Each structure stands twice: as C-alpha cells, then as structure tokens.
Chain A
Amino acid sequence: MAVVYACPACGKETAMLANPMETRLVSGLGIEVGGRSVPPEPLELVRSSVEGLEERAEGVAEAAPPRPGRVRWSEDARERLMAVPSFVRGMVKRIYGEYAAERGIEEITPEIMDRARSELGLEGM
C-alpha cells in the first residue's frame, strides 16, 4: 500500500510505502487509517487478531440462557465471511444471522448469503 501526502505550503508530494509490519502496528492501536465510517465492534481487535477466534467469541456463556434461533455457519460460508473487512465483519455477520434466525434457517451457507444479499440489498457484502 502506498500513500501520497502533499505539503499544504508548497504542494510537494511525498510517497510513503507502508509495509505489513507498520500496517499491523497501526491496526494494533485499534485505529482505522483513513477514519471510520462505522463504530468499532466490541472486541473487534481481539477477534480479528487471534487465529480461530471469531466463532467462539459469539458463544453463549454457561450461566446465560441459550439464544433462540441460534444459527450455524457452514465452512464455505465462514470462509466467505472472512473476506469481509474486519472492521465491518461483526456487523455483516449479525445481519446474516438475523436474516437466518427470522426465517428459521439453521445453517448459513453461501447460497443463503446470496439470497440475503439479494433480498436485503447487501451487494458487496
């Protein structure tokens, strides 16, 4: 990724090349370079930074009552979800989850996701 800055006084342009380490360093601050268009999801950094974490983070604690209409995600659907940018992934997942729960769908598959996108106008998600 390359970013070009222009000096506000003389207009000289300078390019900064970002490498993976710098990008990870900044993302570790919980900062979105370029600003946020949606508020951060709870535990957003933790869930996007630890391998294999997202599904379990949505689990139900022992003492809490089970959530009605809890849906499963197929392997293929999970893979497609991982392609969604991390800072909106939680919101997108919730939208698909609510779509499935409202229709009594027990498992979200890529086909269900396509149907939801079409019905709810979620092109690009």
Chain B
Amino acid sequence: MSGGSERRRIRTYHEVADPGAESVVGQVVEQRRRLRERLAGVGRLVAVGSGKGGVGKSAISANVAAALAASGRAVGALDADLDGPSLARMLGARGGLARGDSGFRPARGAAGVGVVSMDLLVAEGAPVRWRGPEEHRFAWQSVIETGALREFLSDVEWGALDVLVLDLPPGTEKLARLIDLVGSPDAVLIVTTPSEAARHVVAKSARFLEDAGVREVGLVANMATWSCPHCGVAEPLFAADGARRLARDSGLELWAEVPFDPRIAADTDEGMPIVLSAPERPAARSLAALAERVAAP
C-alpha cells in the first residue's frame, strides 16, 4: 500500500511505451506468435476426443499415430490429457524429454512417432499435482492446464510433420480449449461406444464442432463388434447397427467401427500398438484404415 507523505506514481498501462517489454497484451501476442510458428510445419492437426471417458480414445490415438508412422509419414503425438496421461506408455516412449536448440525434443515411440506426454515428465506412477492455493482451485487450475497445453504445442521441436495427433481428455469443453488455442483442427475424431447412452453426448459434441466450424469430423465406434475366438463369427457388442444409427442421428460420418479385441489393451499396455504387433487382426486392419482416412484431406 502507498504510505507516507510521498506520492508514489506507478506507470499505468497507457504510459507503457514498449508493449513487448511490459504489457500483458504484448506477452499474449508473443505467445500466440510462437505457437503459430511452431505449428507451421504440421501438415494436418488431428484431434481425438470423446464425450465421456473409458471409450478407448487413447488406444485409438496411439494406433492411428503408429499406423501413420509405419506407412512412412512423419508423425507426432501429443497427450493433452494432462491429469491422466497414458499415450507415452501406449506408444512405448520412455525417459524424459531432451533439450533441443529451441525447445524440448519429443521422445521417440513405436514406429518413430514423436511423443510428448506429462507421463514423460513426472516420475513413474506419480500423480500430477498442480502447485497453487487450495482455495478456488477450480478457477486457476483450468487456466494453468490451458497454458500447459499451449507450451506442449509451442515449446516442443515438433519439426516438419505430416500429421500431429492430439489425444484430448474426455469432455466437449476440452475441444473448446484446443480450438481457442490453435483454431479449427484439420480433422476431429469423436470416439464412442455405439451405445444408446452415448447418443446424447455424441450429439452434443457434434453440435459444438459444427458451431465451431470444424469441417472434417469423423465418428469412431469403438468396441463395435465382438468376434468369437473359436469360430470367428462377429456379433455386435451393443445394439445391432448401433454405430450407424448413432452417426445418422448425430449427423456425423462414421469413419470406423473398431471391433473389440483384448489384444488392443494388452499390447498397448506393453507399449506396442496392435497395428504393429498384430496387423492381420480385424481390429488392427480397421485402425489402419482409419489412419489412412485421417491422413487424407
């Protein structure tokens, strides 16, 4: 507080001569410039989201990234699920992040995918704990998470990429955060299970993306069918034709119906996406086809 008889005068915003040196606006503009510059070498930015958790979104992201990289493309994968990171483990990327000349370099995962994940920064098994006052945590933590996402995009030496896959945390509002940072992604995958319970959530995501002007949006129905290990006959795991009805009702294109395969979870847990470990299996073929659809503008 000002005290004493001396009248202290602080420079106000209008008097700042050099915006770059001191103004808040100048710093934000510089942040955005750095972000644009860093992403200028990315051919396609593909976001993978879901309305709710537990639908296998990260496994889909890992397999799409690995399939694209295995086909000879330069691919990056950013785990934007800061509180529950899993992409590094699923892609077999380990260790920390090495410093480069202008930022941090991504770790290398399966098929050479460049991976960045909070998993690579915190100790194994350690929870992500954000520093700050407990009071009003709900207010400031969201801001910090957006800032962290911005840094993972702008402070990593992604280089020239054909595709950068962003694995988002569940929830439509996470798409909003991404769009606010980078504008409309080139494509968005909405991953869901083809169940009646998902209908409302998928519709909400579809409406949001339409309003945001995202032109390419594909619905991915995960765990759509189950194949008998004995005779190989495939049956729907949820309601018959559920995926197609979900796509029709939400106004989205159905880009993939991925069969349930216990190898997906088992192999990605070992850091080897099924598109690489068992490419002949129906689930792997479905994911590889999805990857090609994602890469094509």
The yes or no verdict on A and B being binding partners is yes
Find B122's partner among A7, A35, A56 (CB 8 Å cutoff): A56
Evaluate whether A28 and B135 lie within 8 angstroms (CB atoms) in the complex, with A13-B2, A15-B2, A34-B22 already known: no
User: Which residue of the partner chain A has the closest CB to B31?
Assistant: A30
> Are B121 and A57 in touch, CB under 8 angstroms?
yes
In chain B between 1 and 43, which residues have their CB closer than 8 angstroms to a CB of chain A?
1-2, 7-10, 12, 14-15, 21-24, 27-28, 31
Q: Which residues of A contact B139 (CB under 8 A)?
A: 21, 25
Q: How far, in Å, is B135 (CB) from chain A's closest CB?
A: 6
Q: How far, in Å, is A67 (CB) from chain B's closest CB?
A: 8
Find B98's partner among A11, A52, A61 (CB 8 Å cutoff): A61
Q: How far, in Å, is A70 (CB) from chain B's closest CB?
A: 11
Q: How far, in Å, is B90 (CB) from chain A's closest CB?
A: 15
> Are A6 and B135 in touch, CB under 8 angstroms?
no
> Are A43 and B140 in touch, CB under 8 angstroms?
no
Interface centre among A42, A45, A57 (most CB of B within 10 A): A42
> Are B144 and A62 in touch, CB under 8 angstroms?
no
> Are A36 and B27 in touch, CB under 8 angstroms?
yes
Q: How far, in Å, is B50 (CB) from chain A's closest CB?
A: 24
Q: Which residues of B contact A49 (CB under 8 A)?
A: 130-132, 144, 147-148
Find A45's partner among B7, B118, B147 (CB 8 Å cutoff): B147
Alpha-carbon separation in the docked complex, A3 to B11 (Å): 11
Evaluate whether A62 and B22 lie within 8 angstroms (CB atoms) in the complex, with A4-B8, A21-B135, A46-B121 already known: no
> Are B1 and A4 in touch, CB under 8 angstroms?
yes
Alpha-carbon separation in the docked complex, A111 to B133 (Å): 33
> Are B151 and A46 in touch, CB under 8 angstroms?
yes
Q: How far, in Å, is A41 (CB) from chain B's closest CB?
A: 8
Alpha-carbon separation in the docked complex, A77 to B230 (Å): 62
Q: Which residues of A contact B129 (CB under 8 A)?
A: 50-52
Q: Which of B100-108, B218-226, B259-267 contacts A (4 or more CB under 8 A)?
A: B100-108
Alpha-carbon separation in the docked complex, A28 to B121 (Å): 19
> Are B98 and A64 in touch, CB under 8 angstroms?
yes
Find A30's partner among B27, B94, B106, B141 (CB 8 Å cutoff): B27
Closest 6 CB pairs of A and B: A59-B96, A35-B22, A28-B143, A28-B144, A63-B108, A42-B155
Measured CB to CB, the residues of A under 8 A from B are 2-8, 11, 13, 15, 20-21, 24-25, 27-36, 42-53, 56-64, 67
Q: A4-B1, A25-B143, A62-B94 are in contact. List 16 more A-B contacts (CB 8 A).
A: A13-B9, A27-B144, A28-B140, A30-B27, A30-B147, A32-B27, A35-B21, A43-B103, A44-B155, A46-B148, A49-B130, A50-B131, A51-B130, A61-B93, A61-B107, A61-B108
